[in-house]
């Protein structure tokens, strides 16, 4: 027993020394000051999953606040702040209209990671039990739109992603933002589920099953995997493996010249929510590809959708990017951000539990964000 304890103690000591050495190597990297306005309105957990991975990348690459401190994923953002989940206490931090010009002047980058918000069924689960779900906080609003516009007018970098246009964002703000970014939102979105059985882990929520059966007067399949398609108007369709799909997981495909520029993998699988966007005159960096058969093509054609649709849209002058999927929510351990080789350590931790998402984070999201921020930071230094 004593020998076993000695071996355990030695192993733990060796791991601690290795961690400290890797932390020391990381600390010699140059600090890069970049003032970033992070907006996340969908926060129902203390670990802030909708923007945590983005903060991880900022820390790993030593992008720091104007005060030279590292970004905190629990503090350094705007949006919804859970104070006490058990007692249902929350706060929020948002921009006022008289501060738009000042914010656009002081911030270098704006990243809108999630604008959907928090609803009563998600937040009030204890003492207060709502009869029906209502918005607690959320949706892209007029001041959010004005900040994007002013940042673009000032030549600042804007990154926005999935869930910026759906309800509870109102129609006027949506149409103005679409016009500003020269993109068109189709109102349709989709997500892959490893099982369509609502009673199994990884399956969709039961309300999707009920909605489908009421609209299609058919039986919801439970022994298949596939993609659920939803519209902002409450319509639902299915793309089922072996019926509509040759392979069930959507891919993100990037052309060779963009692979070279951004350092992303040419083909990665994507498990999260994505939306169908028309890119206008913007440049498409990457595409989602859904591997449908002829029956799947018929389903998409009926909805006015294509099996190949933009994943990353970039403005002609590189001023803004729009990610047509839930890119920022990725599995990360924050302690791995501040060590040399943290990217590989983090990937190793999720090789089994969330393999596809870990690969997406490592092989696509990380190099994409790093390239965008590094290019922009370099341009600021030249100025």
Give me the mean pLDDT over the 343-349 stretch. 86
Per-residue pLDDT at 91 exceeds 90 = no
Q: How confident is the model at residue 24 (pLDDT cuts 50, 70, 90)?
A: confident
For the chain, what percent of residues have pLDDT higher than 70?
93
- Do 281 and 338 fall into the same domain? no
Kindly state whether residue 1 falls inside one of the protein's structural domains.
no
Per-residue pLDDT at 162 exceeds 60 = yes
Tell me how many degrees the CA angle 224-245-225 measures, rounded to the nearest 5.
20
Cα dihedral value 36, 37, 42, 43, nearest 10 = 70
Compute φ and ψ for 234, nearest 5 degrees.
95, 10
Tell me how many degrees the CA angle 151-155-157 measures, rounded to the nearest 5.
65
Kindly state whether residue 14 falls inside one of the protein's structural domains.
no
Per-residue pLDDT at 378 exceeds 60 = yes
- Pairing mode of beta strands 135-137, 118-119: antiparallel
* Residues 263-300: tens digit of each pLDDT: 999 999 999 999 999 999 999 999 999 999 999 999 99
pLDDT of residue 263: 97
Give me the mean pLDDT over the 38-56 stretch. 92
pLDDT of residue 381: 85
* Residues 306-335: tens digit of each pLDDT: 999 999 999 998 899 999 999 999 999 999
Q: Which residue has the higher pLDDT, 106 or 352?
A: 106
Kindly state whether residue 308 falls inside one of the protein's structural domains.
yes
Q: How distant, in Å, are the alpha carbons of 68, 197, 202, 305, 313 from that of 59?
A: 11, 39, 31, 39, 25
- Pairing mode of beta strands 78-84, 236-240: unpaired
For the chain, what percent of residues have pLDDT higher than 90?
72
Q: Is 32 helix (H, G, I), strand (E, B) or coil?
A: strand
Examine residue 26 and say whether the peptide bond preceding it is cis (omega within 30 degrees of 0).
no
Lowest mean pLDDT among 183-192, 217-226, 230-239: 217-226
* Residues 109-124: tens digit of each pLDDT: 999 999 998 877 777 7
pLDDT of residue 130: 58
Query: For the chain, what percentages of helix, strand and coil (3-state, to nearest 5) are there?
Result: 40, 25, 40
Kindly state whether residue 4 falls inside one of the protein's structural domains.
no
- Do 169 and 39 fall into the same domain? yes
Burial classification of residue 289, based on how many CB atoms lie within 10 Å of its CB (0-12 exposed, 13-18 middle, 19 or more buried): middle
From 278, 313, 348, the end of a domain falls on 313
Give me the mean pLDDT over the 68-82 stretch. 94
pLDDT of residue 254: 98
pLDDT of residue 150: 97
d(CA 379, CA 6) in angstroms, rounded, equals 54
- Do 43 and 134 fall into the same domain? yes
- Do 254 and 271 fall into the same domain? yes
Q: Where are the beta strands (DSSP E) in 89-180?
A: 89-93, 109-114, 118-119, 135-137, 157-161
Kindly state whether residue 217 falls inside one of the protein's structural domains.
yes
- Pairing mode of beta strands 274-278, 283-289: unpaired
| Owning domain of residue 379 | 31-182+315-383
For the full predicted model, state whether its pTM sits above 0.85: yes
Kindly state whether residue 331 falls inside one of the protein's structural domains.
yes
- Of the candidates 369, 301, 265, the one whose C-alpha atom is nearest the C-alpha of residue 53 is 369
Q: How confident is the model at residue 15 (pLDDT cuts 50, 70, 90)?
A: low
Per-residue pLDDT at 228 exceeds 60 = yes
- Do 176 and 82 fall into the same domain? yes
CB 83 within 8 A of CB 91: yes
Q: Residue 21: count other Cβ atoms within 10 Å of its Cβ.
A: 12
Kindly state whether residue 87 falls inside one of the protein's structural domains.
yes
- Do 222 and 320 fall into the same domain? no
Mean of all residue pLDDT scores within the chain: 91
Per-residue pLDDT at 12 exceeds 70 = no
Give me the mean pLDDT over the 215-223 stretch. 87
From 296, 313, 330, the end of a domain falls on 313
Per-residue pLDDT at 57 exceeds 70 = yes
d(CA 56, CA 314) in angstroms, rounded, equals 23
* Residues 181-195: tens digit of each pLDDT: 999 999 999 999 999
From 298, 313, 328, the end of a domain falls on 313
CB 159 within 8 A of CB 321: yes
Kindly state whether residue 26 falls inside one of the protein's structural domains.
no
pLDDT of residue 76: 96
- Do 137 and 280 fall into the same domain? no
pLDDT of residue 126: 65
Q: How confident is the model at residue 203 (pLDDT cuts 50, 70, 90)?
A: very high
Q: Is 176 helix (H, G, I), strand (E, B) or coil?
A: helix
Compute φ and ψ for 342, nearest 5 degrees.
-60, -35
**Start-end of H helices in 246-336:** 256-262, 294-303
pLDDT of residue 19: 76
Give me the mean pLDDT over the 100-105 stretch. 97
pLDDT of residue 132: 60
- Do 267 and 285 fall into the same domain? yes
- Do 77 and 216 fall into the same domain? no
- Do 307 and 207 fall into the same domain? yes
- Do 321 and 271 fall into the same domain? no
Q: How confident is the model at residue 4 (pLDDT cuts 50, 70, 90)?
A: low
pLDDT of residue 222: 81
Question: Angle, nearest 10°, between helix axes 142-153 and 171-181?
Answer: 10
- Do 39 and 168 fall into the same domain? yes
Count of domains in the chain? 2
């Amino acid at each position: 027993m004593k020998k076993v304890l000695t071996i355990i103690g030695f192993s733990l000591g060796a791991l601690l020394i290795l961690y400290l050495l890797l932390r020391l190597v990381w600390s010699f990297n140059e600090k890069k000051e970049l003032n970033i306005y992070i907006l996340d309105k969908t926060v129902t957990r203390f670990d802030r999953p909708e923007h945590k991975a983005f903060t991880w990348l900022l820390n790993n690459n030593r992008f720091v606040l104007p005060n030279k401190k590292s970004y905190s994923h629990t503090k350094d953002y705007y949006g919804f702040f859970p104070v006490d989940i058990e007692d249902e206490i929350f706060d929020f931090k948002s921009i006022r209209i008289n501060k738009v010009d000042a914010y656009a002047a002081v911030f270098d980058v704006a990243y809108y990671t999630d604008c959907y918000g928090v609803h009563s069924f998600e937040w009030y689960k204890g003492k207060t039990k709502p009869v029906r779900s209502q918005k607690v906080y959320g949706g892209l609003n007029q001041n959010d739109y004005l900040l994007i516009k002013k940042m673009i007018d000032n030549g600042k970098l804007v990154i926005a992603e999935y869930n910026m246009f759906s309800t509870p964002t109102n129609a006027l703000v949506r149409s103005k933002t679409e016009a500003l970014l020269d993109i068109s939102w189709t109102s349709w979105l989709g997500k892959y589920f490893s099982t369509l059985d609502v009673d199994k882990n990884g399956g969709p929520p039961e309300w999707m099953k009920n909605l489908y059966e009421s609209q299609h007067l058919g039986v919801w399949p439970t022994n298949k995997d596939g993609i659920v398609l939803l519209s902002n108007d409450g319509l639902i369709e299915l793309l089922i493996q072996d019926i509509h799909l040759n392979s069930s997981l959507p891919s993100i495909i990037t052309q060779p010249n963009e692979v070279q520029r951004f350092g992303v993998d040419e083909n990665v699988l994507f498990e999260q929510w994505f939306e169908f966007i028309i890119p206008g005159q913007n440049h498409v960096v990457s595409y989602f590809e859904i591997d449908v058969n002829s029956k799947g093509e018929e389903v998409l054609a009926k909805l006015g959708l294509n099996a190949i649709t933009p994943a990353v849209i970039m403005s002609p002058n590189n001023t803004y990017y729009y990610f047509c999927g839930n890119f920022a929510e990725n599995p990360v351990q924050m302690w791995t951000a501040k060590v040399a080789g943290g990217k590989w350590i983090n990937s190793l931790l999720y090789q089994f539990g969330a393999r596809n998402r870990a690969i997406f984070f490592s092989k696509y999201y990380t190099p994409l964000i790093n390239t965008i921020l590094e290019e922009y930071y370099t341009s600021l230094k030249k100025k």
